[in-house]
Structures are given as C-alpha cells and as structure tokens.
C-alpha cells in the first residue's frame, strides 16, 4: 500500500508531503488545478520517461519520493530480496531529475536503473489513465487482461518459452535441410581440402622449426668458416691465441704473487678465463661435428616450406593456422556427411517441443475459455449497471486447429459487444462511441481488481463521459474495490467523490510571479463544501450543501 509521497519542484508544485490511507481516496479540484499531477508524479517514480520541462521554473532539479507498506505485497518483497534491496516491510523509491538532463533513482537508498523502477512498480501500483480505454481495442491487451484474470501467468510463460525454443530449432532445421540439399559440391570440395591438409600433416610449431633449420643450412659455409676462425683465435693459433696469451699473463703475474697477496683474485680470474677459453674451443669443435652441410636436406626443407605457404595462401590463412583449419573443415565435412542423422535428431527434438507446446497451449486455452465465461457475466452485469441496460459483453475465442502455433497460444481472442437486442455482436474496435468504450473499460477494470495481486490502483478520470445515476454507480463500484484494495481516483464527479473513504482537494494559487499547486486532506465538514462546489459551482447554497450531506450520508 502507498503510505506517503513527497514531491519537490515538480511542474507547479513547490513542495508537497502527503500521507495516504487505505480504502478509496478521491482527488478533486477545479479545472486546471493540477489534479493529475500526483498521478503523473507516481508514474515518474515508477520509471516513466521524463524531461527537464517537468522541473519547476527556477529550480535546479525535481524530486519525487514515495513510500510503501509491503506487508501485503509478496511479489514486491520477493523482487527486492532477489535484487538485494529489501528493507523489511517498508520500501522507499526516490527519483531525481536534474536540469542538466540527468536522472537518478534509488530503491531503499540503493542506486537503481529505470528498468528496475518499472519492474518493481509493476508489482506495487496499477495506473489507469483517462485514455487507457483506447488500448482496450488492441488484441494483445485483450489477451493479457483475460490471462491476468485467469491467473495464467505461469502457463503463458511456459507456452511462450516453448514456442521460442521450437521456432529457433525450426530455423536451424531448415538451414541444415537446405544445406544438405545443396551439399554435394560442397562435400566434394571439403573432402579434397581435408585430404590435402591431412597429407600435409602440419604440426602447430613445425613452420618455425623449419625456418630456423633452413637458415642454418643455407648459411652452413659461413658458419663453418667463422667457427674455425674462432677456434683458432681462442686456442689453436701457435703464436697469439687467447689461451696462450692468458697462460703467459698467468705465468707473469704468478711470479710476483709472493710480493703482494692482493693480486690473488686477479690471478684466479685469469686462470678461470683460460679454462673457459679452452671449454669454448671444445664446444665449437663439437658444433663443427654436428654441422650438417647436406644440400639434399636443404632442398627438402625448401620444398616443404613451399607447399605449406602455397596451401596457406589458397585458404587465406597464416601457415600456423592450417592445423586449426583442418579441424574446422573436418567438422563441417562430418556434419554434412552425417546430415541425415542430424536432421533426424533435430526432427525428434522438434516433435518433442511441439508436443510440449500443444500440451501447455491447450491447457492455457481451456483456462482461457473457463475464465472468459465468468468474465463475460461479470463485465456484462457491470456494463448494464453503467447505463447500458441492454448491452452484452462476450469474449470470442477462436478454435484451435493445430496449425496456428504462436508465441501466445493457439487462440485468437476478441472482445465483442452487443449494445441493443437483436443486433449482432461487434468488435470493441467498431464501437463509435468513446463513452461506451470508456464504460466497458471501467467495468473490466473493476472486475480485474477482484483478482489483481497489486494493492494500489490509481484511476485518472476514467469516469470521463459519465454522469447522472451512472456516476453514482461508478462511485459505488470504486468504493467496493476500495474495500479490499487501496484506490486513488482523480474525478470531477461529485457522485464518485462522495463514495470515497478519504478525500484530497487539489488547489492552485497564483500571483504575479508564480503559480503553486497544493493538495490538502479534507475534514468531514470540508468535504461537504467540496461536494457542494462540485454540484453547484463556486457559489455554495443551502440546497447544494444539503444535497452534498445527503450524498455523503448515503455513501456510508
């Protein structure tokens, strides 16, 4: 239940703080006073789009904060827990719209995106705008209303999910079937390419090894000459090899070690260098023993690399990618070679999904027909009370022929109306009178209010086009809904306002520089004056006040 609302710097509202009560609450005021401001503010808190035009002139930002008691709102509590935003049985939603165009939202002080406000708002508040009856002619809305009344939410989702899986798999099945029909040439090409790659038998790191070996073999002569020269310089030169020079240095230095022990470390390093030059020469001799000057090996490597690069160019890939390409082409070939098996398995899966779909969709259709019979009677009864005594409402559900699978079930659903005896039922969309459509919409809303899990229902001048005795009936219907739900109703009809459990008055004050709207809860005495004003205009009379008292007493 909505417990309070705070609005700051929104349109012509400076600051508004309002506590709200259970039952039916009427909001009234003179034309242009801003009766729908509270409804619009609620919509913004529920994630409606906003622009900077809603910010009060001279203010930097608009702020809307609403609070809810969730003790009777299990869906909202579950949503909050799922998103780690729960705070007991209380929920505070706050939204800020800045003049820079930025919008921020918070749920129980947790930053939240607009989509989160919409999702949570759908479990808390149901807003019926004054032009909402226009959407009633749409088939999608008619189907949704019927399913809401029947409590078909789980079945609707099961049917939808099953259909989407079937549709996705059907597309894959058709693609594979069409590919199989045109696959003979593709299979022949793939088989040639796979055989060629298998014969190449290229490993992932072979190209790098071949290039390295090729460089070595191609420069074997140079490697041989440089290695022999290095061995000679290090060890084998008879006069000036590094080894001889180091030995001479070691001998000369050794002759004076007794004179100064500080030369010991230098002598040690020279000795180690002499040993390392000898080891380096030995290592180079071993390298010469291993150096391969085989020109046939070099030719083979040239031929091997040529084949590798030729095939890689043919497939427009790098040589190192050829092993992965073989795996990919082999998988495609295997798939096409076994397409019949794949098609059979996919057909079996499609049959299972189709069976699951029809099982779910047929049960959904049965529940829809059962709910439609009840809805027909109740809506017809309310429509007749609302000044259309000969009208009959009927939901026409098309029969399932097993061929018209859709995401929403097997049926076509149309809302029909017959306004006079002897006439045929016609689609609601064919009704010329907006007033008649408005009454039918109100009747459906009242019936659906009996089953909705949403505890706060907001009606924004849904009684437009209704007057006289019918208006009193509308008020009684809304009051009846208010006995089990919180109902907020913006109305211009005294007959409706008199039926409310609570009454809010919307007023507007203007001076030369500004205009401000305020909302005030009315006392019993204030209500008499407001109902009298709605009955007789600005000037109150004894008769209008007496009539107002009578209307209020009758509603109790």
Answer yes or no: is pLDDT of 307 > 70. yes
Condensed to tens digits (0 to 9), the pLDDT of residues 3-21 reads 999 999 998 888 889 999 9
**N- to C-terminal Cα distance for the chain?**
23
Distance CA 224, CA 221 (A): 5
pLDDT at 294: 66
123 alpha-carbon distance from chain centroid: 17
What mean pLDDT comes out for the span 259-287? 86
Provide the pLDDT confidence category of residue 134 given band limits of 50, 70 and 90: low
Using DSSP, state whether 206 is helix, strand or coil.
helix
Answer yes or no: is pLDDT of 400 > 60. no
User: Per DSSP, what are the bridge partners of residue 182?
Assistant: none
More confident residue, 129 or 263: 263
Contact by Cβ (8 Å): 342, 189: no
Domain total in the chain = 1
Using DSSP, state whether 104 is helix, strand or coil.
strand
Q: Would you say residue 189 lies in a domain?
A: yes
Contact by Cβ (8 Å): 223, 216: yes
Answer yes or no: is pLDDT of 513 > 90. no
Answer yes or no: is pLDDT of 320 > 80. yes
Condensed to tens digits (0 to 9), the pLDDT of residues 68-110 reads 999 988 889 999 999 999 988 999 999 999 998 889 999 999 9
Q: Would you say residue 363 lies in a domain?
A: no
CA dihedral 53, 55, 58, 63 (to 10 degrees): -170
Q: Would you say residue 118 lies in a domain?
A: no
Using DSSP, state whether 537 is helix, strand or coil.
coil
Condensed to tens digits (0 to 9), the pLDDT of residues 447-466 reads 887 777 788 888 887 667 67
Question: CA 326, 331, 337 angle in degrees (round to 5)?
Answer: 120
Residue 405, both tokens: 């699978």
pLDDT at 219: 67
Provide the pLDDT confidence category of residue 130 given band limits of 50, 70 and 90: low
Using DSSP, state whether 514 is helix, strand or coil.
coil
Q: Which of 251-260, 403-412, 531-540, 544-553 has the highest mean pLDDT?
A: 544-553
pLDDT at 501: 95
Condensed to tens digits (0 to 9), the pLDDT of residues 31-42 reads 766 777 888 899
What mean pLDDT comes out for the span 402-414? 84
What mean pLDDT comes out for the span 122-141? 74
What mean pLDDT comes out for the span 299-328? 87
Which residues, including other chains, have CB under 8 Å from residue 138's CB and lie 6 or more apart? none
Contact by Cβ (8 Å): 160, 167: no
Question: CA 313, 314, 316 angle in degrees (round to 5)?
Answer: 60
Answer yes or no: is pLDDT of 338 > 70. no
Distance CA 109, CA 45 (A): 14
More confident residue, 190 or 502: 502
Q: Would you say residue 66 lies in a domain?
A: no
User: pTM (2 decimals)?
Assistant: 0.61
Q: Would you say residue 114 lies in a domain?
A: no
pLDDT at 21: 93
Condensed to tens digits (0 to 9), the pLDDT of residues 344-376 reads 888 999 999 999 999 999 999 999 999 999 999
Neighbours of 534 (CB within 10 A): 22
Residue linked to tokens 């790659």: 197
Contact by Cβ (8 Å): 190, 296: no
Provide the pLDDT confidence category of residue 444 given band limits of 50, 70 and 90: confident
Distance CA 538, CA 529 (A): 10
Give the H/E segment covering residue 516. Answer: strand 515-521
Residue 230, both tokens: 């290095």
Condensed to tens digits (0 to 9), the pLDDT of residues 142-189 reads 898 899 899 998 999 999 999 999 999 999 888 877 776 667 677 788
Q: Would you say residue 207 lies in a domain?
A: yes
What mean pLDDT comes out for the span 272-294? 80
Burial (0-12, 13-18, 19+ Cβ within 10 Å), 169: middle
CA dihedral 163, 169, 171, 176 (to 10 degrees): -160
Q: Would you say residue 218 lies in a domain?
A: yes
pLDDT at 457: 87
Distances from the Cα of 532 to the Cα of 31, 204, 386, 547, angstroms: 16, 93, 24, 7
Number of H helices, E strands in the chain: 18, 15
Give the H/E segment covering residue 520. Answer: strand 515-521
Residue numbers of the domain that contains 318:
185-337
Answer yes or no: is pLDDT of 401 > 70. no
Q: Would you say residue 319 lies in a domain?
A: yes
522 alpha-carbon distance from chain centroid: 43
- Average per-residue pLDDT for the chain: 85
Kind of pairing between the strands at 125-128 and 392-397: unpaired
């Amino acid at each position: 239940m909505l417990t309070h609302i705070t609005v700051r710097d929104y349109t012509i509202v400076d600051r508004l703080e309002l506590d709200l009560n259970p039952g039916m609450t009427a909001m009234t005021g003179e034309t242009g006073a801003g009766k729908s401001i509270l409804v619009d503010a609620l919509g913004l808190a529920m994630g409606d789009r906003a622009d900077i035009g809603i910010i009060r002139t001279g203010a930097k930002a608009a702020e809307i904060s609403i609070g809810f008691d969730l003790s009777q709102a299990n869906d909202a509590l579950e949503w909050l827990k799922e998103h780690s935003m729960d705070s007991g049985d209380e929920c505070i939603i706050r939204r800020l719209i800045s003049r820079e165009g930025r919008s921020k939202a918070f749920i129980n002080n947790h930053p939240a995106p607009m989509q989160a406000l919409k999702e949570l708002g759908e479990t808390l508040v149901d807003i019926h705008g004054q032009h909402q009856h226009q959407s009633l002619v749409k088939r999608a809305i008619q189907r949704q209303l019927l399913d809401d009344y029947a409590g078909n939410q789980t079945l609707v989702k099961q049917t939808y999910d099953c259909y989407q899986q079937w549709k996705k798999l059907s597309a894959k099945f058709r693609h594979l079937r069409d590919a199989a029909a045109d696959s003979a040439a593709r299979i022949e090409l793939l088989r040639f390419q796979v055989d060629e790659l298998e014969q190449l038998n290229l490993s992932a790191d072979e190209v790098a090894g071949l290039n390295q070996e090729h460089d070595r073999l191609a420069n074997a002569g140079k490697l041989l000459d440089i290695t022999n020269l290095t061995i000679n310089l290090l060890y084998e030169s008879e006069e000036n090899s590094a080894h001889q020079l180091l030995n001479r240095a070691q001998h000369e230095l050794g002759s004076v070690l007794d004179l100064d022990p500080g030369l010991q470390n230098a002598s040690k390093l020279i000795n180690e260098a002499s040993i390392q030059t000898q080891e380096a020469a030995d290592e180079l001799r071993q390298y010469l023993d291993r150096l391969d000057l085989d020109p046939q090996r070099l030719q083979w490597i040239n031929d091997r690399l040529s084949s590798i690069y030729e095939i890689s160019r043919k497939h427009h890939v790098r040589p190192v990618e050829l092993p992965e390409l073989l795996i990919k082409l082999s998988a495609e070939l295997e798939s096409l070679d076994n397409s019949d098996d794949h098609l059979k398995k996919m057909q079996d899966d499609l049959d299972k999904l189709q069976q699951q779909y029809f099982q779910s969709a047929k049960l959904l259709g049965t529940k829809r027909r059962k709910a439609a019979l009840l809805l027909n009677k109740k809506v017809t009864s309310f429509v007749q009370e609302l000044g259309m005594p000969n009208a009959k409402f009927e939901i026409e559900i098309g029969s399932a022929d097993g061929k018209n699978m859709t995401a929403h079930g097997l049926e076509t659903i149309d809302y029909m109306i017959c306004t006079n005896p002897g006439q045929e039922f016609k689609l609601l969309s064919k009704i010329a009178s907006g007033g008649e459509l408005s009454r039918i919409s109100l009747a459906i809303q009242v019936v659906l209010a009996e089953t909705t899990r949403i505890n706060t229902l907001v009606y924004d001048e849904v009684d437009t086009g209704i007057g006289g005795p019918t208006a009193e009936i509308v008020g009684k219907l809304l009051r009846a809904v208010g006995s089990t739900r919180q109902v907020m109703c913006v109305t211009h009809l005294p007959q409706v306002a008199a039926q409310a459990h609570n009454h809010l008055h919307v007023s507007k004050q203007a001076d030369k520089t500004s205009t401000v709207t305020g909302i005030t809860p009315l006392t019993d005495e204030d209500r008499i004056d407001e109902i009298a004003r709605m009955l007789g205009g600005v000037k109150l009379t004894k008769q209008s006040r007496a009539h107002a008292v009578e209307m209020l007493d009758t509603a109790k």
